[in-house]
């Protein structure tokens, strides 16, 4: 982090930043490090046999240690009634939420724009492998009992359309709002994504669990509806979430197909009750790890500001001259140890460079980050600027204004209103026009391949690691035409 060369006043005694409790442990640690490592090895390419075996063992451990209740009925024959009752309950709760908002209630989920962006960033490890749990069934697409499941996977991939592929959409969302890189996310935030990837690469050994996971995950949750509503309200693109509201419907959507898939795959020979119990266990995996509300409730803006500046300290500790001091200490010295950041922030406030609870324009520190001749321009990402902006403004941040709002701006239009008025750029792209190092090689290989090799090439390109790339999108389009043609 670079601080311009200024002399700063002496601080009072520093107080550590507050740390709000969260519903589950999201802190890094040796045990949790295994989660991120395995997640990356499964997400970044085709894993070798040893890595698949590790993923299978991880699944067994999770299934053995699950402390999550099962919401499924005792009998598979009651699935349709269970699904409809769930949908009606969610609709009733959402209707009540809308009534409360219309009557003047504040946002339920997001206290500020920074809070919403924190949520989008924190759930990224799960969203970036959306649909992965069904990948292992692709080679078996000719088995009619899997048709609903394979179709669901292909629809998660947008049938090859870049503007409908769920992972493409989320990657663009991260880019639009400066939410990446994600290297410093707490390890437990990778747990749900790891479960999906482990199922993807071990589907044949965990088939009932895959089917059960799909059943639990594809039911429409209340938090999806509220998230979409409040993101739009804050001027943030809600399309990824609204798309899930439509595709997961209980009539022709993924929720209904998930129920059909269970009935189609129940054994006709052997012990169907044992199979059903494994389906029930798989559905519980869909609720394992930190959930949406855990992430939302875990937001602490004081702690997030400290985290951001602590990360910047590694690159900024040697970038300041001896003339740049805070309370008589060199800035390089302040930044030499991340644990000093809370005291450093307190010193900036005591010196008057940060005026908490006031418009950001009144804080000289903000002027170093944004505006004309900002000496630290480009040091912080758009997301990081939003967090600092909202932290400085205090309670006023509830209005949800973006960090680059014009001075005096009182209200930001919703995302949909801004889109209608041409105020936001479209993120849609024609994958066929993209420059890509793999696309030409893939299409040439596909043309030259024998039928069996051709199908293997398509399946490989539709893996969680590749389906969002131009060659993966092309493979999905070819595969889908073959299924439906």
Q: What are phi and psi of 237, to 5 degrees?
A: -65, 115
Judge whether residue 19 has pLDDT over 50. Answer: no
Q: How far apart are CA 27 and CA 406, in angstroms?
A: 37
3-state secondary structure of 58: helix
The DSSP call for residue 10 is: P
User: What is the distance, to the nearest Å, from the Cα of residue 47 to the centroid of all Cα atoms in its chain?
Assistant: 23
Judge whether residue 20 has pLDDT over 60. Answer: no
3-state secondary structure of 393: helix
Q: How far apart are CA 121 and CA 229, in angstroms?
A: 18
**Which of 82-96, 164-178, 319-333 has the least mean pLDDT?**
319-333
Q: How far apart are CA 32 and CA 123, in angstroms?
A: 17
Within a 10 A sphere around the Cβ of 198, how many other Cβ atoms? 29
Enclosing H/E stretch for 325? strand 325-326
- 277: its two tokens: 């119990």
Model confidence pLDDT, tens digit, residues 89-127: 999 999 999 999 999 999 999 999 999 999 999 999 999
Enclosing H/E stretch for 71? none
Q: How far apart are CA 262 and CA 80, in angstroms?
A: 11
Helices (H), 236-300: 239-247, 254-265, 272-285, 292-297
Judge whether residue 432 has pLDDT over 60. Answer: no
Judge whether residue 18 has pLDDT over 60. Answer: no
Average pLDDT, integer, range 395-402: 96
pLDDT band at 22 (very low <50, low <70, confident <90, very high): very low
Bigger pLDDT: 2 or 292? 292
Judge whether residue 192 has pLDDT over 60. Answer: yes
The pLDDT of residue 371: 81
Q: What is the mean pLDDT of the chain?
A: 88
Judge whether residue 61 has pLDDT over 70. Answer: yes
Judge whether residue 345 has pLDDT over 90. Answer: yes
Q: With DSSP H G I counted as helix, E B as strand and the rest as coil, what are the percentages for the chain, rounded to 5?
A: 60, 0, 40
Q: How far apart are CA 402 and CA 171, in angstroms?
A: 21
Judge whether residue 286 has pLDDT over 70. Answer: yes
What is the CB-side half-sphere exposure of residue 381 using CA atoms within 13 A? 20
Identify the top-confidence range among 242-256, 305-319, 436-450. 436-450
**Which of 30-39, 67-76, 250-259, 297-306 has the least mean pLDDT?**
30-39
**Which of 47-56, 139-148, 317-326, 398-407 has the least mean pLDDT?**
317-326
Judge whether residue 14 has pLDDT over 50. Answer: no
Furthest-apart CA atoms within the chain: distance in Å = 81
Judge whether residue 476 has pLDDT over 50. Answer: yes
Q: What are phi and psi of 428, to 5 degrees?
A: -70, 150
The pLDDT of residue 10: 33
Bigger pLDDT: 28 or 167? 167
Average pLDDT, integer, range 382-409: 93
Percent of the chain with pLDDT over 90: 74
Average pLDDT, integer, range 197-203: 98
Q: How far apart are CA 315 and CA 276, in angstroms?
A: 54
Domain residue ranges in the chain: 30-297, 301-414, 431-484
Model confidence pLDDT, tens digit, residues 291-325: 999 999 999 999 999 999 998 887 655 455 455 66
The pLDDT of residue 23: 34
Judge whether residue 404 has pLDDT over 50. Answer: yes
pLDDT band at 8 (very low <50, low <70, confident <90, very high): very low
The pLDDT of residue 375: 83
User: What is the distance, to the nearest Å, from the Cα of residue 248 to the centroid of all Cα atoms in its chain?
Assistant: 18
3-state secondary structure of 419: helix
The pLDDT of residue 317: 57
């Amino acid at each position: 982090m670079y601080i311009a060369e200024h002399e700063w006043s002496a601080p009072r005694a520093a107080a550590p930043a507050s740390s709000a409790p969260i519903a589950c442990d999201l802190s890094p640690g040796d045990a949790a490090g295994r989660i991120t490592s395995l997640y990356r090895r499964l997400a970044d390419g085709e894993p070798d046999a040893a890595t698949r075996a590790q993923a299978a063992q991880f699944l067994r451990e999770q299934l053995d240690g699950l402390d999550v209740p099962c919401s499924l009925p005792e009998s598979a024959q009651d699935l349709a009634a269970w699904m409809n009752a769930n949908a009606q309950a969610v609709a009733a709760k959402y209707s009540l939420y809308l009534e409360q908002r219309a009557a003047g209630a504040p946002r339920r989920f997001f206290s500020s724009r920074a809070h919403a962006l924190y949520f989008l960033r924190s759930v990224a490890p799960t969203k970036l492998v959306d649909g992965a749990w069904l990948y292992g069934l692709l080679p078996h697409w000719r088995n009619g009992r899997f048709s609903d499941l394979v179709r669901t996977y292909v629809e998660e991939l947008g049938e090859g359309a870049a503007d409908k592929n769920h992972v493409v959409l989320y990657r663009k969302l991260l880019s639009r709002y400066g939410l990446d890189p994600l290297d410093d996310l707490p390890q437990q935030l990778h747990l749900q994504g790891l479960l999906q990837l482990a199922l993807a690469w071990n589907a044949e050994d965990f088939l009932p669990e895959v089917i059960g996971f799909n059943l639990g995950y594809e039911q429409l949750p209340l938090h999806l509806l509220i998230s979409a509503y409040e993101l739009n309200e804050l001027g943030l693109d809600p399309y990824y979430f609204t798309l899930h509201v439509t595709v997961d419907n209980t009539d022709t959507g993924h929720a209904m197909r998930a129920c059909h898939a269970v009935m189609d795959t129940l054994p006709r020979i052997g012990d169907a009750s044992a199979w059903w119990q494994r389906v029930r266990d798989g559905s519980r995996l869909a609720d394992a790890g930190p959930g949406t509300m855990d992430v939302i409730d875990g937001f602490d803006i004081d702690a997030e500001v400290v985290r951001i500046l602590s990360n910047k300290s590694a690159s900024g500790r040697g970038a300041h001259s001896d003339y740049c001091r805070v309370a008589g200490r060199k800035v390089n010295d302040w930044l030499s140890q991340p644990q000093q950041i809370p005291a450093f922030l307190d010193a900036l406030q005591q010196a008057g460079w940060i005026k908490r609870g006031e418009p950001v324009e009144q804080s000289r520190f903000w002027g170093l980050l944004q505006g004309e001749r900002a000496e630290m321009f480009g040091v912080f990402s758009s997301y990081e600027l939003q967090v600092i902006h909202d932290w400085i403004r205090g309670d006023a941040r509830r209005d949800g204004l973006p960090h680059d709002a014009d001075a005096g701006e009182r209200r930001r239009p919703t995302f949909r209103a801004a889109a209608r008025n041409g105020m936001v750029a479209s993120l849609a792209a024609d994958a066929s026009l993209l420059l890509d190092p793999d696309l030409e090689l893939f299409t040439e290989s596909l043309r030259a391949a024998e039928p069996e090799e051709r199908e293997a090439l398509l399946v490989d390109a539709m893996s969680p690691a590749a389906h969002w790339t131009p060659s993966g999108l092309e493979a999905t389009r070819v595969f889908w035409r073959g299924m439906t043609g």
